[in-house]
Structure 1
Amino acid sequence: MAQRRPWEVEDGLWDRIEPLLPVVERRFRNPGRKRLDDRKALCGILFVLYTGMPWEFLPQELGYGSGMTCWRRLRDWTEAGVWQQLHEVLLAELNAAGLIDWSRAAVDGSHLRALKRGPKTGPSPVDRARTGSKHHVIVDGGGTPLAATLTGGQRHDVTQLMPLIEAVPPVRGRQGRPRKRPEALYADRAYDYDKYRKLARTKGIQPRFAERGTEHGSGLGVHRYVVEQTIALLHWFRRLRIRWEIRDDIHEAFLSLGCSIICWRKLKNNSIC
């Protein structure tokens, strides 16, 4: 039996994505060329996400259409908010199964090169001032990505603490009001500012930030490592290791899609789907 390639959309994942896609009616008069099947276009998008291949080199023999067709479909679905909706659907399923640990969360940021500049890029202080961007991620206690943001490479991690907290969507899946806030938040020394501790407390979150000037061995790392692990999983997608997109919304679409795939794998591994 042939092994399924990772960029091929599984039936379970497609069942969750298809209802979110905008319906495009074919023109009755002068319909033109038949529109590429949405599932095949999504496979082409995932192929680029997994391999990092330039759009124009998308192999035609795979049957996923041209690279420009897949890029347009990614653009249109991004503008329709498909990726955020998909992430929220998967988070709700995980929450319903008790697979989101709201007792704690962790945040961190990671640099990446931005070879074509564009919005949300800047001189990276860790890469000899070369143009770069930053991924900022907040995860639950088990490493499930709750939200991710993109900034210029010069932005300090702590400046994205509150935007990340605000970016966590209301997660449904259980009786009562949707859950949005973890009980405690873990972060490294870059977040050690009294101002941001107070801001976290105003949201009902207990800050557990490592303190600058103290020796290693505080024990906080046993809770904080999950966000580093999730960032490593995101950067396993080659398109997220280096930012090739000038348009920030297109790179953010890849980032959101990567978060959704991590959530989908967790559902599969726990035999929920």
Structure 2
Amino acid sequence: MIEELVPDQLWSRVQPLLPARPPRRSRYPGRLPVDDRAALAGIVFVLKTGITWRELPHEVAGCSGVTCWRRLRDWSEAGVFNAVHELLLDQLRALDRLDLNTVVVDGSHVRALKRGAATGPSPVDRARTGTKHHVITDAGGIPLAVTVTGGNRHDSTQLIPLVEALPTIRGKRGRPWQRPRWLYGDRAYDYEHHRKALRERGIIPRIARRNTGHGSGLGKVRRVVERTFAWLHQYKRLRTRYERRADIHLGLLRLGCVLICYRQLPTSF
């Protein structure tokens, strides 16, 4: 089960990026810590199935769900999933599987069953508590960066933070990639100060205008981000937010991006 949830090729990329454990005491060392791969398998199982942490079957990873939760907390604080995500993006660029001239941005609302940071009354869900996932992708829908806000935050507030969160992608000789040439967005991002901020960064905005008819053709490019949300929300733990802590939910969201990028790699790479 562990090998199915965390394949060897994925584990070989994650393991070197995990933080080093503190040395054990020579006297009264206590119990041996749970294997990192087993803990990651438990986290992936919860992400895919949507079960609670305490419901995690012991036979899946050989450890408790609370242990997996703690490991997820520690790895999120250490930036492990960000590092793995950037590594996979480097490898995808080396294989010419990224189209980085164009990026697409959008947001998606999910219901939050518990209050906490980055939650708010959703205007599209009868003011129920919700959270928004904001994502920026390449022209093929590969997620490049994600953020989380309350359900009452407007999509436009995350446009510049998403652009600033774009990683430096290597993988080829020469200067690493840092910014796209074009950015596509829907009418929610139609503000002149956003267009000005993008142009100052050397990015050409391709944002739909409000109060205009459809048929601009921009949707042919923007549609890939909707597929990205479908990829992310196939993981049941991301369809609805159960975590009270925003950093835990964001860690799961970033792990979802890691799994999406990993699926784009050829099995022999």
TM-score (norm 2): 0.96
Contact 1:7 1:50 in 2 (8 A): no
Residue 126 in 1 paired to residue 124 in 2?
yes
Q: Cα distance, 1:64 vs. partner?
A: 3.2
Aligned to 2:219: 221
**Which runs of no fewer than 5 residues in structure 2 stay unpaired?**
none
Q: Which residue of 2 aligns with 1:21?
A: 18
| Structure 1 residue corresponding to 2:36, chosen from 18, 35, 38 | 38
Q: Where do 1:78-97 residues align within 5 Å?
A: 78-97=76-95
Amino acid at match of 1:198: K
Query: Could you tell me which of 135, 138, 147 is aligned with 1:137?
Result: 135
CA drift at 1:176: 2.2
1:9 aligns with 2:6: yes
Which residue of structure 2 aligns with residue 189 of structure 1? 187
Letter in 1 for 2:128: R
Contact preservation (8 Å) 2:110, 2:240: yes
Name the SS of the counterpart of 1:179 in structure 2. Answer: coil
Partner Cα distance (1:173, 1:55) in 2: 37
The separation in 2 between residues aligned to 1:63 and 1:162, in whole angstroms, is 40
DSSP 3-state at the match of 1:88:
helix
Instruction: Name the CA distance, whole Å, in 2 between partners of 1:112 and 1:183.
Output: 31
1:10 positional shift: 0.5
| Post-superposition CA distance 1:186-240 (Å, at most 9, x none) | 1111111111111111111111111112222111111001111101110110010
Q: CA deviation at 1:5?
A: 8.4
1-structure distance, mates of 2:4, 2:206: 38
* Residue of structure 2 in register with 1:69 after alignment: 67
Counterpart of 1:170? Answer: 168
User: Contact between 1:107 and 1:227, CA under 8 Å: does it hold in 2?
Assistant: yes
Distance 1:272 1:214, change over 3 A: farther
Tell me, yes or no, if structure 1 residue 201 matches structure 2 residue 191.
no
Q: CA deviation at 1:26?
A: 2.9
The number of equivalent residue pairs is 268
CA distance in 2, matches of 1:90, 1:174: 13
Q: Percent of counterpart pairs with the same letter? A: 59
Shift of 1:62: 2.1
Q: TM-score, normalised by structure 1?
A: 0.95
The Cα shift of 1:165 comes to 0.2
Is the CA contact 2:41–2:61 (under 8 Å) kept in the aligned structure 1?
no
One of 229, 246, 249 as aligned partner of 1:248: 246
Deviates more, 1:213-222 or 1:5-14: 5-14
Cα distance in 2 for partners of 1:50, 1:65 equals 17
In the aligned structure 2, how far is the partner of 1:168 from the partner of 1:160?
12
Closer/same/farther in 2, CA of residues 7 and 254 from structure 1, 3 Å limit: farther
Question: Which residue matches 1:158?
Answer: 156
| Alignment check: 8 A CA contact 1:108 1:187 kept | yes
Q: 1:6 to 1:207 in 2, by over 3 A?
A: farther
Tell me the amino acid that sits aligned with residue 20 of structure 2.
V
- Contact 1:7-1:47 within 8 A present in 2 as well: no
Structure-1 separation of matches of 2:16 and 2:67 = 21
User: Match of 2:145?
Assistant: 147
**8 Å CA contact 2:2, 2:41 repeated in 1:** no
- Contact residue 43 and residue 64 of structure 1 kept, 8 A: no
CA distance in 1, matches of 2:137, 2:37: 29
Preserved contact between residue 2 and residue 37 of structure 2 (Cα < 8 Å)? no
